[in-house]
Every structure is written in C-alpha cells, then in structure tokens.
Chain A
Amino acid sequence: MMELLFSGVAIGSIYSILALGFVLIFKCTKVFNFAQGTLVLVGTYLSFTLITDAGLPAPLALLISMVAGFVLGFVIERLLLRPMIGEPVLSVLLLTIGLSEIIKAVLGLVWGAWPRPFPPMFPGGSINLLGQNIPQVYFWAIISSLGVFVLFILFYRQSSMGISMRAVATNQDYASLIGISVSRVFALSWGFAALVGAVGGVFLASMLSVNLNLDAFAFRAFPGAVLGGMDSVGGALLGGLAIGIIENLAGKFVDPLLGGGAKEVIAFVVMLAALLVKPYGLFGTEEIERL
C-alpha cells in the first residue's frame, strides 16, 4: 500500500510538472494549450540527442533543452498566437491542436517512430525513504518537481516580472494601463511552459522511454490541471499528485475487475466529475460573466 502511494506520488509529481505547463499558459493568456504535450516531446528529444549524440553530460543537456524550449515557446507565441489575439477562445484552442499536430509530425520526420531508451541520468538502484525502498528516478522526480514549484511560486510572489504576470492574469486592461507589456507576459508564459515541459519530459522519458506517444501522458496531466484549478500554480501540484495516486490505486483495485487499462481512463473520469461538480477546480478562479 505504502509502495503504491510512493510510486503514485512519484508519477504524480511528474504529472504536476506537466500540469504546471498548462497552468502557466492558461493563467496569463487564457489559452488551453493542447500542444503542451508536444512541447514536452520537443524537450525530451532534444535532451536525448544532446546526451547520446553530442555526448554532453545530462544536467547540461537538460539545461540547454530548457533554454531551447523557452525560446521555442516564445517564438510560437510571437508567430502563431499573436495574430489570434481578439479571435474567439475556441479558435485559439483549435489552433493549438493544429500546432501539436505540426510539432509531432516534425519530430516524427526527424527522429522516426521507434521508441528508444533514455540514457540513465540517475544512479540505478533504490533509495530508502521512510522505510520504503523507492527507485532513484522516483526520488529525483519528486525532489525536482517540488523544486520547480517552489521556484515558480517564489517567482510569482517575489520578482517584479512575476508580479506583473499575475497582474495580467487578474486583469489585462488594468495591467496594460499601469505600463505592463501584456504581449511580453504572453510570450514569457509560453516560454516558461515549454521550459517546464522539457523538465517533465526528461523525467517521463527516464521512467519509460523516448517515444512519440509520451504526449499522451501530458494529456493525462490535463485532469490534474483541471482538478487543481486551471489558473492555480499550487493547484497544479496537488491536482497532479492526486491524479498520480488515483491512477495507481485504480491500477491496483479496478484493473483486476476490468482486465486492465483502467489507469489510462480513470484520470478522465476524475476530470469529468471535477468539471461537473466544481468546474473551476479546487483553487481556480471562477469566471463570472456579466451582460
């Protein structure tokens, strides 16, 4: 039971990094980014190539792909999202679906479809934590996702850029009135989302392998973001962890009844329930419209 909980937390911490990617973009730009999963893929493939082909040490490769992800996100915002400002939100959603198709196709053309093992970044074996033996990868995944969250929460609370991003999230018009560049905030949000995507992708690939279907996992992080509230950074952490744990429990208790596969769908059942009961999640801001 404890073992299940631990691996649930480990998977969940990755889900929460992936969910953070959705939240970072939605918070400021009010866009549901369906391409987040493929941004994760870009970071993963990039660090994979940097480590295996260029022979760089893993931390350096991760750093480079984070920076590259940031630049990619920034460029995507400037090129594709900028012309869509003022268009209906649903058109923007559909645009990100198109974008994810493009990114995935380009990755497939360059790297091909077959899965590849990710070079080990962490020492093998397991680590003893609270009387439980858990694999090193799990341990580092939990630590770094907590680290990422602490960094982002501090960034939003303390730095002037973070505060102006929160201002834009609260009210774009007022924010631009007091001299905040809304367009820069938008581009930064995309950059940050792609950056954390690279981090999550590397851990995901370390646990599984490098393949083109990893973006399906980012899809399963969607429920985490919805559960926590689409515009809440802390909510993404809790939502992601909850999804990880629920998935593992479902794998243990529901799978024997249905003959497997419950892990892949339980997240969406939870999301549907969350949407029906509490559409804006546990910590999200309710959207109120007035005539």
Chain B
Amino acid sequence: MRSGYFKVDYRRDRELFPLFIERLVLAVAVVAAIILPLITDRYLLHLTNLTMIAIVGAIGLNLLMGYTGQVSLGHAAFLAIGGYTTAIVAGYLPQLPFPVVILIAGAVTSVTGLLAAVPAFRLKGLYLALSTLAFYYIVMFIILKAEPLTGGAMGRHIPELNFFGLELDGEYAFYPVGLAIVVLGLVLAKNLLRTKTGRAWKAIRDWDLAAEAMGVNLRMYKTLSFTTGAFYAGVAGSLYAYYIGFISPQDFTFTVSVNYIAMVIVGGMGTLAGTVAGAAFITMLPNWINQLAGYLQSLWPAFQASTAVPYLERLFFGLAIVLFLIFEPEGLFGLWKSLRNYLVMWPFRY
C-alpha cells in the first residue's frame, strides 16, 4: 500500500506527467484550450491572450527566480527590450515573418541578459537584486532617450503580425499564435529543467557554495539562467508589442516587474504549472476587481469606483504577495499539491 507520492524508479522519474490525475488535468486543459475561442466573448479572449503573454514572461522570471534563486527586479526592462526590438525590426522590415522577428527579439534580449548577469559574478542575494533594479532604471532611461529608434516617451507603433504576407490581426488571430508559443515555451522549459543545466540551477538556488564545491560552474550557469530568463521575457515583450500594436515606456513601469514577481509567487516559485496558474490569476485579477468595484458602487453610491479601481488593484496585488508568502510559500501549486496528494491517497489521509 502506498503511503505517499514517491518516484521509486527511473521510468517514473523520466515521465513528464507521472500521475493519472496530472494527465487528466492536462487533457482537460488541452480540450479547454481548443474550445475556448469558440465559446468565449472577445473580452475574455483578450484577457486570455494577455495571460498567455504573461505566462511566457513569467516562465522566464521563474527560471531565474524560482529555479536559480536570482531575484530580478528588472524583468520589465527585459520585456521592454523585447518589445522595442520587435517595434524596430518589424518597423524597418515589415515583410519579415513574425516568428523570425520574435526570435530576433528573444536573442537581442538574451544578449542584454548577459549584461545583467555580469554583477551576478560577484554579487548574490539582496545585492544582486539591487543591481537588477539599477539595470532596470538604466535600460528605461536609454529607451526614453533613444528617441529616433524608440520614439521616446511618445512610444512606437508595431505593424500587424505578418506571416509570409498573411496579416494576422485581432484577438482571434492572435490566440493560436500565443497558444503555440506558450506550449513551446512550457515544453522547452520543462525539458531544460530535467537536463544538467536545470539541475545545476537548482543546486545554485539551494546553496551556491555547495554547488560550487560539487563542480557547478557558478558563472556559467548563472549567466545561462539570466540569458534564458531574458530570452523568455524578450519573447513575451515581443508578443505584447505585436498584440497591443503600440508600446511606450508606460507599458514597462516598475509595477510591471512587481506584477511578474507576484505571478511567480502566487503561482509557486520553482514550478511551471504554478507559473501558468499565477500568470492567469494576476492577469484576471484586475477584471475581478473591476466587477467588485462596480458591485460596491451599486451598494454604496458614495464609493467612486473609477478612481478607486487602480488602488484596489495594487492593494490586492500586494495582499496576494504578502499573504501567499506568509501562509502558502509554495503558492497555488502548493494548494494543488495538497489536493493532488489527497486524491492520490484517498481514502487514506497519508
């Protein structure tokens, strides 16, 4: 009789989804992803698209923060670099198919990730977090000042998604593109984490000195983590730029960095499934707050929903971060894990 959920042989360990219940959830997710655009309205699909963009970016941050233990407060800078690279490349070469542009955006962002990794050679923990903060402010300053390329504070328009002359526009056209990239990103990350690289990252996260003593090249793997995380963020920024069609520095404020941190924490640091849940939660939250504010206003007419909503949003984001950190450090994934273990063990408690 089983007394818990353990991986006891290599076959089990190699499986991406070893449990029946996990495969069941996956199947439901696949079906939902296929029928979603058929049954939802435009607005919900719009939110879904934003969620998919957020998932890609959050995977990048989770690789960096959740798997390698390097906190980045400058994730918005990576998103901005990806977004602006897209704006520039697609602006000058409109005939280029979009997958190429997205790859270029990811690659350029990776290179800047290399720069952001330089302080990580000497610094760690809190001091490294501060250096990423400085990196963020410097990048945003450069973007603001490089007016001929980026449009400065005025922002820049991005042409529609171009696929060999076929123009993809609107929520319904973007959905399959976003979905494909999310699936690709998840599969890539999931497999990357099972390789030597992934194990090295986790070793660095758990104790860098011990990892180094075991022969993990700290510089190389930290740099790799920064470039990979930046690549994902760059792709997310690129998708965002394509989807919204217009970007300005207002789209990449420090708040955006905080939002991505919130996604990773709410979802669960160091879990990919959690990242998906966290990104969905944080992206959908403003919508729910809007509805809540509308409801409050109908109850209590003195309540100014329109002015209060932005603050309520920040309040709930902050509360989500604080409460999850205190009560459920493993995030939504932690909740799922308890439920999963309960179901796997049923009818026994443990």
Residues of A that sit less than 8 Å from B by CB = 32, 80, 83-84, 87-91, 93-95, 97-106, 108-109, 112-113, 222-223, 226, 258-259, 261, 264-265, 268-269, 271-272, 275-276, 279, 289, 291
Contact = CB atoms under 8 A, between A and B. Distances in A.
Contacts of B71: 90, 93-94
Contacts of A223: 134
A112 B210 contact: no
Interface stretch (B52-60, B155-163, B313-321): B313-321
Chain B contact-residue range equals 35 or more
Of residues A98, A106, A226, which shows the largest number of chain B Cβ atoms within 10 Å of its Cβ? Answer: A98
Nearest to B65: A90
Contact of B319 (A102, A259, A291): A102
A223 B308 CA distance: 33
B326 interface: yes
B344 to A, nearest CB: 28
25 contacts: A32-B126, A84-B326, A87-B325, A88-B69, A90-B69, A93-B126, A95-B321, A95-B325, A98-B320, A99-B318, A101-B317, A103-B318, A104-B314, A108-B311, A108-B314, A109-B308, A109-B311, A113-B307, A258-B145, A261-B141, A261-B144, A261-B145, A279-B127, A291-B210, A291-B213
B325 A264 contact: no
A271 B255 CA distance: 21
Q: Which 10 pairs between the two chains have the least Cβ-Cβ distance?
A: A98-B321, A101-B318, A105-B315, A102-B318, A105-B314, A108-B311, A272-B134, A265-B141, A268-B134, A98-B322
Interface of B: 65, 69, 71, 118-119, 122-123, 125-127, 129-131, 133-135, 137-138, 141, 144-145, 209-210, 213, 258, 261-262, 265, 307-308, 310-315, 317-322, 325-326, 329
Contacts of B265: 94
Given A108-B311, A258-B145, A268-B133, A94 B321 contact: yes
Contact of A102 (B125, B307, B315): B315
A264 B135 CA distance: 13
Contacts of A279: 122-123, 127
A235 to B, nearest CB: 15
A83 B318 CA distance: 17
B326 A272 contact: no
Contacts of B129: 32, 90, 93
Nearest to B131: A275
Given A97-B261, A105-B314, A289 B209 contact: yes
A83 B137 CA distance: 32
Contacts of A272: 119, 131, 134-135, 138
Contacts of B311: 105-106, 108-109
A271 B138 CA distance: 11
A94 B131 CA distance: 15
Contacts of A222: 130, 133
Contacts of B213: 291
Contacts of A269: 134, 138
